Amino acid sequence: MEYRKLEEADSQKLSDLFEKLKPNYSKTTVNLELDDVKKKELISSPSYYAIGVFDGEELVGVGALNFCTYRYTRVYESINLPREYSAELDIFYFLEQYFDENIFYEVEKILLEEAKNRGLSSLVAFVHPDNVIGEVSLKRLGMKPSIYMLKEYRLLRQTFYIEF
């Protein structure tokens, strides 16, 4: 596996990944629409830092830091985190055969180091209730569950956080 920051040259591979993922996701759980604007934002906007997971030439997964934390002000207030010095572990999508705790953990470690390098002091993540692998890898990273649950796309999501 190769783990690296997504670049403009990966744009089509990112589109291909999302198309492959669509049959496995319901619109009630997650929005997998990836238009050109969202794709460009994920790859080159200062609002995101996205890591791709490649198996040979194929993009098999993506994880990102989202620096636009204003969406979840109540979450940050509920766990006493300074929103302006935090980021969200976001956009974690992988082909089913790559849904693996060790792969998730490697991406999360890279993103945690990037957050530290940018001078941030905390990360949050929101995990679907059925995503046991995601929850295990976040705990392995040192993230703690919060009592705060986020309701998104009609489902509750467990909130995890870490301060560093």
Q: What is the pTM of this model?
A: 0.89
Q: What is the pLDDT of residue 28?
A: 44
Question: Of 8, 114, 9, nearest to 63 (Cα)?
Answer: 114
Helices (H), the chain: 11-21, 36-44, 73-78, 101-117, 132-141
Condensed to tens digits (0 to 9), the pLDDT of residues 19-66 reads: 898 877 655 455 566 777 888 889 999 999 999 999 999 999 999 999
- Domain limits of the chain? 2-163
Residue 118 has pLDDT above 90, yes or no: yes
pLDDT of residue 30: 56
- State the average pLDDT over residues 72-92: 86
CA distance 42 to 7: 10
Report CA torsion sign: 8, 93, 128, 123. negative
Please give the span between the terminal C-alpha atoms of the chain, in angstroms, as a whole number. Answer: 28
Tell me what pLDDT residue 113 has. 97
Between 26 and 4, name the one with better pLDDT: 4
CATH architecture of 2-163: 3-Layer(aba) Sandwich (3.40)
pLDDT by residue (tens digit) across 87-103? Answer: 999 888 899 999 899 99
Instruction: Report which DSSP code applies to 21.
Output: H
Q: What is the mean pLDDT of residues 11-26?
A: 86
